[in-house]
Structure 1
Amino acid sequence: FCETIQLHLTQLIRLRPGQGAQVLHRDRLAWGGYLPADIEPQFNTIWAVTDFTQDNGATQVVPGSHRWDPKRTAQPEEIAYAEMAAGSVLIYSGSVIHSGGENAASADRIGLNITYTLGWLRQEENQYLSCPPEIARQFDPELQALLGYAMGSYALGYFTPPLPPGQGPEVVPPEFLFNGKVASWGEEMYQNTSARAAEGKL
């Protein structure tokens, strides 16, 4: 369903001792339920920083729930616990019913949640504010593209430089911010962008 993927969100999840279980949910609801059921919008990972046990709040997952009717709810006997050693990873789609478990242990349960989405969807975490250009320019091009500083499809993701009318291009791929081809917002950017357009690369 896409030509590219992008980073959806990153978060460190800490469950403190005595913290109750999270409500079971599907992450795809971030888009408000507007996407057709046959489009899977999200790919999730949660990395165990500490051991995950049922006692300390291992992620609860409902296997097969990605195929269920959206209105169906999970029964207790359908819930499994993603028990795993530190350094392991749980992989699941945005349509799987899941939640953080209850931490009945005496120590924190810590997990690193990194999720990805289709390149043409709005990201849950606004990556351009979390990682603005002055920070993103320090990264490798692959990571810049993953954050969203790349064309997501034929015409998704371009920007217009903050120049007076007629003094610059109106359609610039975000890669031009970082690839060293453009030194400023002026004539050089205009010429490079025009050349790329002539080659059919915009």
Structure 2
Amino acid sequence: GATHLVPYSHKWTRAVNLKEKTVQVTMKSGSAVLWVGGMWHAGGANVSKDRERLALFISHNVGYLRQQENQVLSVPREVARQMPRKLQRLLGYKGGIWQIDFRDHLDFLRDGEVIHPSAKVAQKGWCKL
């Protein structure tokens, strides 16, 4: 069961009816589909008896918006520690208005060790100085 999309639903001002006509996106293994995040979509039923269907969902938002799933919490720290820094930042380990006590999330990957030697934290026990 391929993913179902409701074309142009991201532009609608009316409520979406659950019986809307959908387009099923059937693709070859390894293919990708992109759509605007506001478009109504649903996963089709996996009707194969002996095969799992794997999917990877990546969402990008402007920095001041929060994603639906908090990747910082859903990806175990021991896994995130092994990822390239660029991927760590895509997961949310970066500075911004959502920082924890004005600290970069990358600090928490290193069990509180301060990454930048010039950084200081007022609360004792939060980092190794």
2:28 to 85, 105, 110: 85
Structure 1: gaps of 5 or more residues? 1-56, 161-170, 195-202
1:192 to 113, 118, 123: 118
Structure 2: gaps of 5 or more residues? 121-129
Distance 1:66 1:138, change over 3 A: same
Structure with greater contact order relative to length (CA < 8 Å, sep ≥ 6): 1
CA contact (8 A) 1:61 1:97 kept: yes
> Cα deviation per residue 1:104-136 (whole Å; 9 max; x = unaligned)?
554546131312142333333332232344442
Say whether 1:113 aligns with 2:64: no
* 1:46-195 correspondence to structure 2 within 5 Å: 57-73=1-17, 75=19, 78-104=21-47, 106-108=49-51, 110-118=53-61, 119-152=63-96, 156-160=97-101, 171-176=102-107, 184=113, 192-193=118-119
* 1:19-34 correspondence to structure 2 within 5 Å: none
CA contact (8 A) 1:60 1:82 kept: yes
| Structure holding more strand per residue | 1
Question: Percent of aligned positions with the same letter in both sequences?
Answer: 31
In structure 2, C-alpha distance between the alignment counterparts of 1:178 and 1:105, rounded to whole Å: 39
**What RMSD in Å do the two structures reach over aligned CA positions?**
3.2
- Aligned with 1:144: secondary structure? helix
Distance 1:59 1:109, change over 3 A: farther
TM-score normalised to the size of structure 2? 0.68
